[in-house]
Amino acid sequence: MNKQEKVALVLNQPALNKGTAFSEEERQTHNLEGLLPSCIDTLERQLERVRGHLEAKPNDLERYVYLQSLCERNKTLFYATLMSDPARFVPIVYDPTIADVCLTYGALFREPQGMYLNKRMKGRFAEILHNWPEREVRFICVSSGGRILGLGDIGAHGAPIPIGKLQLYTACAGVPPECLLPIHLDIGTTNAALRADPLYPGLRSGPPSDKELDALLDEFMEATNQVFPGVCVHFEDWKGRDAIHFLARYQSKYLIYNDDVQGTASVVLAGLFTAMQIKGARLIDQRYFFAGAGSAGIGIANMLVEAMMQEGATQEDARARISMFDIKGLIHSKRKDLNASQQVFAHKAKPAHDIFQAVAQQCPTVLIGVSTVGGLFTEKVIRELAKSCDRPIIFPLSNPTDRAECSAVQAYAWTDGRALFAAGVQFSEVEIKSKTLYPGQANNFYIFPAVGLAVYATRPTRITNEIFIAAARGIADQVSPHDRERGLLYPLQVKILETEITTAARVAEYIFDQDMATVPRPKNMRAWIEDMIYRPDYS
């Protein structure tokens, strides 16, 4: 190797680069003398500089751009920054900033991160996957951009989603970054405005038929498993039909999961488990009312049924505890427009087109909003719910904020502070009757990084819904009595790494108990997992 190549090896490789933290000796060994300023910084000093740069940026979108270019320069410093204050930086590298990133991705695009496969590569996926420089890929996060956050089908503008999602595996749970591969699978987009945009970075065609898409995904799954044996494929932000369909199609054949379906359901279940601890009740004692029966609603309801069955209910009894209400009104057995996954929640009931009427008829104790309709939970609806129970549970999960079915202030005010509340977005604390209440945020980042870490450690044969239920229990059990007293349904975000490791250890125990692990069971699960996590330092 010549001198230039040696320099390129360390300075241009984000995983090896230390920038001004290279020691004298390293500078000599790698021929870096004269190529760096004289100071020899510690990682802490470099962090101080990064924080200064971030402070000087005018908004989070600019901070995002800066952080991603840091990631492409120096991975250790990037993750050290994120992990130094996840509660501050996760919202910058992911939700909510990522929505602005996606909207402007064509113009923002600087450097490729991850892989960009498209439908024209059909027949060559395996060959092309070999172009990725790392061989030990353990996780692929793949999106088509078909249904991003509240933005709908944005095709190739959805590419930052798998990139950000995988960065959270490392930032929140210490999964080593070199084993993560984000992929945007460009199947085309229905978004005509984007296709006409000269800076659009994707294919300018519409998506294929369902049959063609199945064939494309069949090849994709086979190729990923052939090139990266044992890889876990995380599906993210596929449109409703595709999300549920591909989960069902591949769940028993490959190591896969869908975060929108299973991660969402699990984090909602975690909030419900904590609420049950506060109420001193069981899931099977509650009556659930879902406003919205789309992919999020159905995913949550199905996992809730499984969790109630773990408490001893039959599937029929568990389903009977759940009512659903969608754009056409209450879902009941006479409706002819329901799909198979909705039909199982269609009970004998009087038709009701108005949500207040339906809530009054069904007398729920839990109200879950996944309707995408801001303000749907009116004062009348919430007061009706609060009439029949001491601690009503109110989860307006739709986001962004203007789509939340009600706000934290409204939920607490209309229930005299009795509500157990979590939303899809983070609301600020609320002062009521001289008590401060802290609204929960049902953020999937409590779940998928921990499940990822457990999967990384145990190499299970499959990922089941029960694994996600175990993760939900693991999260709920970490909310201290003091925090529950303050209305918190989830652990504090400042201690996220600690929380995720504890959850991962619980999930790993479950995987071993079910004989699904393919590695020997360690004596001390937590120590074993802690030992393999990534820590951003230069050693």
Catalytic machinery residues = 94, 165
Given the complex with ligand NAI, which of 137 and 423 has the nearer CB atom? 423
Burial of 520 (0-12, 13-18, 19+ CB in 10 A): exposed
Given the complex with ligand NAI, which of 372 and 410 has the nearer CB atom? 372
Contact at 8 Å (CB) between 226 and 137? no
| SS3 of the chain: helix, strand, coil, percent, to 5 | 50, 10, 40
Given the complex with ligand NAI, which of 30 and 473 has the nearer CB atom? 473
Distances (CA, A) of 91 to 49, 64, 96, 164, 171: 20, 10, 6, 10, 12
Given the complex with ligand NAI, which of 39 and 340 has the nearer CB atom? 340
Q: How far is the CB of 217 from ligand NAI (least distance, A)?
A: 19
Q: Which residue is nearest to ligand NAI (CB)?
A: 294
Given the complex with ligand NAI, which of 167 and 398 has the nearer CB atom? 398
Q: How far is the CB of 320 from ligand NAI (least distance, A)?
A: 20
Given the complex with ligand NAI, which of 143 and 372 has the nearer CB atom? 372
Q: How far is the CB of 222 from ligand NAI (least distance, A)?
A: 28
Q: How far is the CB of 327 from ligand NAI (least distance, A)?
A: 3
Give the number of other Cβ atoms within 10 Å of residue 30's Cβ. 18
3-state secondary structure of 262: helix
Closest CA to 278 of 487, 537, 21, 45: 487
Given the complex with ligand NAI, which of 120 and 350 has the nearer CB atom? 350
Contacts of 90 (CB under 8 A, 6+ apart): 82, 168, 171, 172, 445, 493, 496
Distances (CA, A) of 7 to 18, 71, 73, 157: 12, 19, 14, 35
| DSSP string over 364-402 | -SEEEE-SS-TT-S-HHHHHHHHHT-SS-EEEE--SSGG
Q: How far is the CB of 96 from ligand NAI (least distance, A)?
A: 11
Q: How far is the CB of 404 from ligand NAI (least distance, A)?
A: 9
Strand pairing category for 180-186 and 139-143: parallel
- Euclidean distance between CA atoms 231 and 253, whole angstroms: 12
Q: How far is the CB of 197 from ligand NAI (least distance, A)?
A: 24
Q: How far is the CB of 329 from ligand NAI (least distance, A)?
A: 8
Distances (CA, A) of 509 to 115, 293, 478, 504, 505: 33, 33, 16, 9, 6
Contact at 8 Å (CB) between 55 and 49? no
Contacts of 303 (CB under 8 A, 6+ apart): 262, 265, 266, 269, 465, 468, 469
Interacting residues toward ligand NAI by CB under 6 A: 150, 240, 260, 264, 267, 291-297, 325-327, 370-373, 376, 397-399, 403, 424, 442, 444
Given the complex with ligand NAI, which of 112 and 150 has the nearer CB atom? 150
User: What backbone torsions phi and psi does residue 441 show, to the nearest 5 degrees?
Assistant: -120, 115
Contact at 8 Å (CB) between 474 and 451? no
HSE toward the beta carbon, residue 369, CA cutoff 13 A: 30
